[in-house]
Structure 1
Amino acid sequence: MAVYVYTVVDRTHPQRLDGLPGVGDPPTTLRTVDSEKLSAVVSDAPEELRPKRRDLAAHHAVQERLMGDGTVLPLQFGFITTDDDAVRAVLEERTEWFLERLRALEGCVEYNLKAGQDQSALLRQILRDSEEARRLNDEIRGGREDPQLPFTLGELVAGEVRDRQGRTAETIVDSLRGFAREEHASQSAGDDFLNASFLVEQGKEKSFLAAEQELAKGLGSDYDLRLRGPLAPYSFV
């Protein structure tokens, strides 16, 4: 039967799974698949699995329970393989990689930071700072009938947005890098220009959070910084 995999831990991890339901409706039963040095927490895979609230909550509850007792390698929701033997084979084939990752994540949690900027405020900045952008904008508003003008202005503004937000993203990451063991950049979406995760040692969490708050204060109200955490370190597996 197909197997749903939640996480990988060291064999010495307590693996307290009592009372925890697995994914599926009705909930599946959690169990472990062991190799010489590692254990994978698994359950039978439901026939139809979708990221519903109950199943997402069950998946994350496993990570949170195990994180309370030691280091885990949390897999993203929805990881399914053929059977227990396939799970055991991967544990045995990639033992050293799993052990290295467990050492890297020991005593750490993940914080995810997304950043956006008010687009109207950004456009005002560009028009204030760029003489060429002001000239093109004034010509368009003045009624000059040249179909190339809006295109030229749009290209100029788009380039300025990329450059300015790219520099701001670098500044943000640079300001927080010293408080993290590792960092991971993901594709930003919508109006966000930054989507970055930081692997933070639990003893440095207060310093990291204080630095992020100071950074947000320094950037001002035109910026929207949204920090989530502490999380299981999904981005670093």
Structure 2
Amino acid sequence: MAVYIYSITFKDHPLRLDGLEGVGASSPPLRTVTAGQLCAVVSDAPEELRPKRRDIGRHQEVQQRLLTDGNVLPLRFGYTAPDEDTVRDALEQRADDYADRLRRVEGCAEYNLKAAQDEETLLREILTESEEARQLNDAIRAGGAAPDAPLRLGELVANEIRARQEALASGVIEALRPFAREIDSSPPVGSDFLNVSFLVSADQDELFLATELSLAHQMGEAFTFRLNGPLPPYSFS
């Protein structure tokens, strides 16, 4: 029977799975598949696996429980295997790799930070600080600009926004880098200029959080910081 896979741990993990429910309408019980020093937490896979809020929540509850009690490699929602033997074979064949990755994230949690800047504030800064942009904008508003002036202004502003946001993102990351074991950046979406995950060890947790809070305060009300964590180390598994 197909199995749904939640996480990989060392077999000496406490594995407190009591009270947790597996994904799927039937709420299947959780169990483990062991091979050598490794263990996978699994349940029967539902016939139809969809990212419903209920099931995503159950998946996350398993990861959080395991993270609270010890070291874990969390799998993202949706991983299945044809049967337990397939899971056991994977643990055996990739034993050294999984063990190395578990040791790499030992004692750590993930924090994901997204940041955005108010668009109107950013545009005002560009029109104030860039003489070329200001002159083009004034000429367009006065009605005496060349026909291609709006296009040139748009390109200039877009380039300025990209350069400024890249510099801002780099500055934030460098300020937090000393408190992270590893960093994983992802392309920001929407109005965000930053989407980055930090692998933070327990002994650096307070310093990381204090520095992030200080950065958000220093950068001011035009910036919105959204920090999510502590999380299982999905980005570093």
Fold shared by both chains (TM-score > 0.5)? yes
Which residue type is aligned with residue 165 of structure 1?
Q
Q: Does 1:115 align with 2:115?
A: yes
Q: CA deviation at 1:144?
A: 3.0
Partner in structure 1 of residue 80 of structure 2: 80
Question: C-alpha distance in 2, partners of 1:67/1:95?
Answer: 20
2-structure distance, mates of 1:147, 1:192 = 32
Q: How far 1:218 moved relative to its partner?
A: 1.3
CA distance in 1, matches of 2:36, 2:62: 22
Unaligned stretches of 5+ residues in structure 2 = none
Structure 1 position 15, deviation (Å): 1.3
CA distance in 1, matches of 2:22, 2:55: 8
Deviations 1:56-113 (A, max 9, x none): 1110111111112210000111111221111111111111111111111111111110
Distance 1:2 1:147 in 2: 64
TM-score, length basis structure 2? 0.97
| 1:134 counterpart letter in structure 2 | R
Asked if structure 1 preserves the Cα contact closer than 8 Å seen for 2:6 and 2:77, the reply is yes
- After superposition, residues 57-206 of structure 1 pair within 5 angstroms as 57-144=57-144, 146-206=146-206
1:47 aligns with 2:47: yes
State the one-letter code of the partner of 2:211.
A
Q: Secondary structure at the match of 1:178?
A: helix
Does residue 220 of structure 1 match 2:231?
no
Once residues 198 and 174 of structure 1 are traced to their aligned partners in structure 2, the CA distance between those partners, rounded to angstroms, is 12
Identity %: 55
Q: Which amino acid aligns with 1:4?
A: Y
Q: For the Cα contact (< 8 Å) 2:32–2:39, is it kept in 1? A: yes
2:15 is equivalent to residue 20 of structure 1 = no
Shift of 1:145: 5.9
Match of 1:210 in 2: 210
Q: Which runs of 4+ in 1 moved over 4 A?
A: none
Q: Which amino acid aligns with 1:27?
A: S
Counterpart contact for 2:136–2:145, Cα < 8 Å: no
- State the distance in 1 between where 2:224 and 2:48 align: 38
Q: Which runs of 5+ in 1 are unaligned?
A: none
- In 2, distance between residues paired with 1:147 and 1:32? 69
Letter in 2 for 1:106: E
Q: Deviations over 1:34-73 (max 9, x none)?
A: 1111000011111111111210111011111111221000
SS of corresponding position for 1:68: helix
Displacement of 1:188 = 1.0
Structure 1 residue 19 displacement after superposition: 2.1
Stretch deviating more after TM superposition (119-128 or 137-146): 137-146
Q: What is the identity, as a one-letter code, of the residue corresponding to 2:24?
A: G
Aligned-residue offset at 1:30: 0.9
TM-score (norm 1): 0.97
Aligned residues: 237
Q: Secondary structure at the match of 2:179?
A: coil
Cα distance in 2, alignment partners of residues 215 and 68 from structure 1: 28
Give the secondary structure class of the aligned counterpart of 2:56.
Answer: helix
- Single out whichever of 142-151 and 200-209 deviates more from structure 2: 142-151
Q: Determine helix, strand or coil for the equivalent of 1:110.
A: strand
Q: CA RMSD in A?
A: 1.0
